[in-house]
Amino acid sequence: MDKTQGKSWLVPEYLTETEVATVLGRSRDWFRQNRPKLEREGFPRIDGLIGLTCRQDVLAWIKRRRRVADETEAEARENAKADASGNVAGVDWSKL
């Protein structure tokens, strides 16, 4: 018996409206109603040949809209030091 049978092991590169809505955390009806507005804001259009929306384009659009950047490597090292010592920004929070 094929071990992959009955399991979703392949991530599609193109998404249906319902799948795109799920990625956005919205309902399909909300997505259908708001897609024109989203597209005016640069949201990817349906691929004319495939008839679906490219997953990577959706994820790139979301990433471009982020307002808070991931911490830098330097910040991560500094935060790791602070966690280990109990001191953050020169304050020993364990003594408060």
With a cut of 80, say whether residue 37 has pLDDT above it: yes
Report, as an integer, the average pLDDT of 11-26. Answer: 96
pTM above 0.75, yes or no: no
Render pLDDT for 73-90 as a digit per residue (tens, 0 to 9): 777 777 777 666 655 555
How much is the mean pLDDT over the chain? 84
Q: Examine the pLDDT at 94 and tell me if it is beyond 90.
A: no
pLDDT tens, residue by residue, 39-82: 999 999 999 999 999 999 999 999 999 888 776 777 777 777 76
DSSP the chain: --TTTT------SEE-HHHHHHHHTS-HHHHHHHHHHHHHTTPPPPPTTTSSEEHHHHHHHHHHH-SSPPPPHHHHHHHHHHHHHSEETTEEGGG-
Parse the chain into domains and list their residue ranges. Answer: 14-65
